[in-house]
Amino acid sequence: MTDFQDVDAQLEDWNALRATASFSGLLVGNGASRAVWDDFGYDSLFENARTVEEKPLSQSELSVFDAMQTRSFEQVLSALKTTSRVNKALAVSSAAPRNRYYAIKEALINTVHAVHIPWRLVVPSTLATINQELGCYRTVFTTNYDLLNSWALQHQPDAISDLFQGAEPSFDLSATATDKTRLLYLHGGLHLVRNQDGTARKLMSTEGTLLGSFAINNTIKTLDDVPLFVNEGPAQDKLKTIRSSDYLSFCYDQLLGHGDGLCLFGHALGEQDSHIIHALRQAKPQVVAISIYPRSKAFIQHQKRHYAKVFEGTGSELRFFDSKTHALGSPKLTVPVEV
């Protein structure tokens, strides 16, 4: 597929397509979140944190990111937490790492609040639609770390499991079997935190307060709560975070082994997600149904060429469908962004 003449601009209807092939997996990207709330279309959480109106990252905080050569909040917060504990053990009196930790975490919280859809604007029917569609698959993979899927799961938890169990829901590598649809956060989530020993835990709160559960307070327990999510940066940087967590590693391994039919919704599979592309090329799904937003004939052709290149040589059959015909892309889900 070398030029546009080789590629048509036809897109299938999702409901007709799904009747002709079996899809046990769904991989959801940012396009699904943007279908609900367009402000999820930000390019960079890190850049937003530099310019957010309320308490942006200062030069001293930015210097920590520079020193670690990363834009990953998770990596920087983990390093500062470790430094604080080492200082305490060695009776080093410097409070700088702890103060930087709280400042960076607060900038992150303010940034998330600035771009995330407020709970009060979420329509229950939207959560029901998301939940119903996710429940159609054996496994749902998502690289989104916003709270839409988590809210949908809380809205109707019977059919879907995120594999976090117990009074303080935690992930246990030895207890991952379930008859329910598995919801796996490939890049973690804003509702997930990393414990001191590297294990993952889910924050429990009511739907409306979940966005506020990262609120700053000066307690050791809060210091332990490093948000477990992979926000941005090169694929190697993302893999470093993934490999440092048993939960994220498990999710990634499940994608590596997904050889059945896969629906790809709202995922660009761009250069920054080359680790996801690598996993898909290893998995070689039998058939991949890929959503494309019908912006224009040229755009559709360009997208088809891109995905054909991504899966070249895998033997996977590629089918392309109009994203607006899928439940997750329905224009009915869109909530107008407040100005």
Characterize the bridge pairing of strands 188-194 and 226-229: antiparallel
Characterize the bridge pairing of strands 139-142 and 181-185: parallel
Across the chain, what does the average pLDDT equal?
Answer: 89
Query: By mean pLDDT, which of 139-153, 188-202, 205-219, 271-285 is the weakest?
Result: 205-219
Q: Mean pLDDT across the stretch 97-115?
A: 85
Residue with tokens 């869109």: 334
Alpha helices in 29-95 (DSSP H): 30-36, 45-51, 59-68, 73-89
Higher-pLDDT residue of 247, 54: 247
pLDDT at 118: 87
Closest to 128 in 3D by CA, of 333, 325, 267: 333
pLDDT at 31: 92
Higher-pLDDT residue of 310, 105: 310
Q: Residue 216 pLDDT more than 50?
A: no
Q: Residue 196 pLDDT more than 90?
A: no
Mind listing the pLDDT tens digit for each residue in 298-333?
999 999 999 999 999 999 999 999 999 999 999 999
State what percent of residues in the chain have pLDDT above 90. 58
Mind listing the pLDDT tens digit for each residue in 126-136?
999 999 999 99
Characterize the bridge pairing of strands 262-265 and 226-229: unpaired
Domain locations in the chain as residue ranges: 4-37+123-333, 42-115
> Which tokens go with 96?
């700088």
Can you give the length of the chain in residues? 339
Q: Following DSSP, what letter does each residue of 269-321 receive, concatenated?
A: --GGGHHHHHHHHHH--SEEEEEE--S-HHHHHHHHHHHHHHTTTS--EEEEE
pLDDT at 2: 45
Q: Residue 156 pLDDT more than 50?
A: yes
pLDDT at 256: 98
Beta bridge partners, 292, equal 322
Mind listing the pLDDT tens digit for each residue in 30-62?
999 999 998 887 667 888 889 888 888 999 999
Higher-pLDDT residue of 264, 338: 264
CA distance 262 to 160: 18
pLDDT at 206: 54
Closest to 142 in 3D by CA, of 162, 157, 159, 123: 162
Query: By mean pLDDT, which of 58-62, 89-93, 217-221 is the weakest?
Result: 217-221
Do the Cβ atoms of 231 and 46 come closer than 8 Å? yes
pLDDT at 297: 96
Q: Mean pLDDT across the stretch 218-224?
A: 51
pLDDT at 266: 96
Q: Residue 220 pLDDT more than 50?
A: no
